[in-house]
Structure formats: C-alpha cells, structure tokens
A = this chain, B = another copy of it.
Amino acid sequence: MKTTVGVIGGGQLARMMIPAAVNLGIDIRVLAEDEGMSADLAAVQVGDYRDRDVVLAFAATVDVVTFDHEHVPQEILRELVARGVAVHPGPDALLYAQDKLLMRQRLTELGLPVPDWARVENAAELGVFLAAHNNRAVVKTARGGYDGKGVRLVTHDHEVDDWFAALAEDGNGGALLVEELVEFRRELAQLVARRPSGQIAVWPVVETVQQGGVCAEVIAPAPSSEGRLAQAAADIAVRIAEGIGATGMLAVELFETTDERILVNELAMRPHNSGHWSIEGSTTSQFEQHLRAVLDLPLGATDTRDPWTVMVNILGGPAEGALSARYPAVFEAYPAAKVHTYGKDPRPGRKVGHVTVGGDDLDLAAYQARAAAAIFQD
C-alpha cells in the first residue's frame, strides 16, 4: 500500500517535487497540460485542468490533490472537496492566491501590513487614488497575473483603460487593484509550510532580487535579517497561513520599505521560486515539506545547511543549442555549484533552470552562482 500524491500542472514546481517524492517513497502522479512538460517523468495524463471530468478522474487515482499552479477553477476545487477528496491547499485558501483583490481585502481584515490599496472600477476611481498618492501607483489585474504580467506602473488615470474595457466586456463586474508605489529598500520572501492539522514550519526569511518583474536571484537568509526583521517576517507569514487556512507551502513576498516597514506584496500557495535554495540549503526542502504537509505528516527541520545559500535563476538560456551543451563548461569551472534545469526549451526570459551555491562566504557563493548561471546565458 503506497501513498500517492497527485499534482495538477506539469511545470518545474511539479518536476522538483519528484526527487522529494522518490526519496520519501511516495508515489507522485502529475496531470500535465501538455506532452513533454517539465514534470513529464511523473505525468500519467495530459489534460485540461479546467475540465471538471478530467480533474475528477485524475483525483480518483490519488490520495491527495495538490498543485503546480493556482489556476484550477474554484467550482472544480469545491466539487472535489464535496466528494471527499483531500485537496491541499483547499479552495478557501487558494482563493487568495487566485484573486489579488480578495487577498488584499482578507489581509486587511487580518490586520496585516499591506501597501495602501483600493478596488477601482473605472478611471475616475483610479484618479481619486492617484490624487491621494502623489500621482504614482501600481495597478494590478485581480486575476491571471504572474512574473510581472498584469502589473502596470501608472501616473495618469487613463493608463489602464484597456483593462477596464476588458473587465466591462467579460461582464463579471470585476475591478482592478490599485496600490501605492512602495518605496522599498529590498524585496524579501518568507516561506512557511502548514499541515491541515495545524503544524507550521518556518524557514529563515530570504532576500529576492527581481529583474523586469521576474525573480533573478535569492539570498538565504536575507543579509542582516536576524532578530527583529526575521521575527516580523515569520510572524506575518504564520498569521497569513493560519488566517486563510493555507495548507502545503505558502510563500509570502514582502517589501522592506525605506521607512522600516514590512509590507505584504503577493502570496503564492505552492512551492515558490524564492524557496528553490532550500533543496540544498535546508535540511528539509520546500518540495519535501510540501509533500509532508499535504499528506498531513509531521514537518521536517528547516534549519540552514550553510551560513549562506545563493540561488540564481537561469533565464532564457543559450541562444543556440541545448542547455546541456553548457554543462562541461559549468561543471568544470564550478564543481560545487548545484545545477538544476527543467527540461524546457530555451526562450528569452524564460525560467529554464537555476544554480545554487552554499558556503561560509556570501560574496563567494553569490559570485559562483551568478557566474555558473551566466555560462548558460550568452
């Protein structure tokens, strides 16, 4: 009798659950969107996660359903739960990863620190917000944005008229989220895992460096974060996880503002790019912890294995040839670098892999991880 975890979505997050599952002796089955995706090895089926029948049939073959992404429609998730399927995270929690307006609203209710924000349905309402915020703001679509998509910096009230028009057209009475443009010193991420029965595990807060709205690198732990900052970040993430009933991994993206505040930016309710460092850098990786959590098993230790761990994304990859053609050069130059590639074809800006280096010396680890990743990106 084996335990089987079913993952909806065949991307790199599902892929990176495979090693954790293999090590733990847990069977993993993936419902992939297409042939040949990152998690192909564990893919048992190609199908549309928006198709109720496909998802129900897949769920019938596993012990728990979890996700590579947050896009499975609420009505399908709720039907799974109604039929007694274990779904983690569940629909009530996932809602706040699916809809940024609802997320802002809930975090505000929970008394958590967020940027000033408003729900705006038209240019006039946006104009009111802009007037109150020095004519600079960030507008986000409530749904469907990721890696910088669906986010626009605006200085005039008509700069998102196309989005208002699209919302009016789909007739769901939607609105946009507008937020103050936060002056931040740096971005942080706080990873936590939570079991359905309540246990929570917290990693050290990390620094994330974005380029063009996409995560470029992560430093674990965030430099100069011990003490007050680490405690504040952990407290926020634990309060969110408990407040919304998250199960499995939760990543809380944070701003550390120039005026010493910690504000919640975004939530991800699954393993997250900001936690890839934990594969080598922590006793328990985010992927193993996610499996433990969704199976309601006791969580693993989250201590760091090195004083510093630096993870650098491979964005795009080589203009010509396969990523693997660069392995000889990378492995030769950086024998301690841990190289991960996701089985994806190189394409400008695409996350196709990452490199992690740990050590006692942050500068050296960062240098090596960046240099190794750069060899993939000519």
What residues of chain A have their CB less than 8 Å away from a CB belonging to chain B? 1-3, 15-16, 18-20, 22-28, 41-42, 279, 283-284, 292, 297-301, 303, 305, 321-324, 327-328, 331-332, 335-336, 338-343, 353
Contact = CB atoms under 8 A, between A and B. Distances in A.
A contact patch SS: mixed
Given A24-B339, A298-B328, 11 more contacts: A1-B322, A3-B324, A15-B22, A18-B18, A19-B19, A23-B338, A24-B341, A25-B343, A26-B324, A41-B42, A303-B336
14 contacts: A3-B324, A24-B327, A24-B339, A24-B340, A25-B324, A25-B339, A25-B340, A25-B343, A27-B343, A41-B41, A283-B336, A284-B335, A297-B328, A303-B336
A299 B298 CA distance: 36
Task: Count chain B CB atoms within 10 A of each CB in A16, A20, A24, A26 and give the residue with the most.
Answer: A24
Contacts of A279: 23
When all copies of this chain in the complex are counted, the total is 2
Contacts of A338: 23, 283
Contacts of A298: 328, 331-332, 335
Contacts of A19: 18-20, 22-23
B305 A2 contact: no
A305 B26 CA distance: 26
A45 to B, nearest CB: 15
